[in-house]
Structures are given as C-alpha cells and as structure tokens.
Amino acid sequence: MEWIQLETANQIDNIKQQQGYSLIFKHSTRCSISMMAKRRFELDWDNLPQDMPLYFLDLIKHRDLSAKVAADFQVHHESPQVLLIKGGECILDQSHGAISVDETLSVLA
C-alpha cells in the first residue's frame, strides 16, 4: 500500500464526495510520537481493504489543510490523528496511542 499525499483543498472536497471508505493520516514530521504511530500503523496496513485510499497529510507543510479537515469533518485537531471517512462523514477519529489498524478494521466490519 502507498500513501496518497494530501496537498490541496480540492482533494479534501473529493474525499467528501467519494463512495466507500477513505482514511486520512495527519502527521507531524517533527514529532517522535507521530512517527511511532505512523510506523506502527504501516506495519499492519496490509490488513486494510486494498481499494481504500490512504491519504497522508503533512501538518508542518499544510496547516491550512489540517484546519479544513477539522472543520469539514467536525473533529478536534490532533496530531497524530487518523480519520476514517465514509459518505463524507468521519466515522472514526483516533489519535496518538489509540491509532490502530485493528480498531479501524472493527469499524469496517
């Protein structure tokens, strides 16, 4: 699996329109906790559906997009943070040590 770089507001608008599930991983490249959460997530991400887009948002480069994600999906900004989106709605919001592929899969089932 590979990350899709989330770099434009149009991409967020498209995620809101997509059918099925999408996942957004908000990551601070300067934070060791965020790096550990990302690494742990990537170890298990092969268990996720192969057709689910996985978006990666670099919070240092794109603070404006992070604010748009928080507003559009009505979540409190955290870092690191994983949002599972379905039908334009955030149905799972995980942050810090709670980020896990297993928890994401439990919502998908």
CB 26 within 8 A of CB 83: yes
CA pair distance 39, 43, nearest whole angstrom: 6
Q: Which residues pair with 77 in a beta bridge?
A: none
Note the pLDDT of residue 29. Answer: 87
Q: Which of left, alpha, beta for 87 (phi over 0: left; psi -120 to 50: alpha)?
A: left
Verdict on whether the full-model pTM lies above 0.85: yes
Q: Answer whether 9's CB lies under 8 Å from 67's CB.
A: no
What pLDDT does 109 receive? 66
Residue 72 is classified by DSSP as H
Per residue of the chain (109 residues), give pLDDT as tens.
899 999 999 999 999 999 899 999 999 989 999 999 999 999 999 999 999 999 999 999 999 999 999 999 999 888 999 999 999 999 999 999 899 999 999 998 6
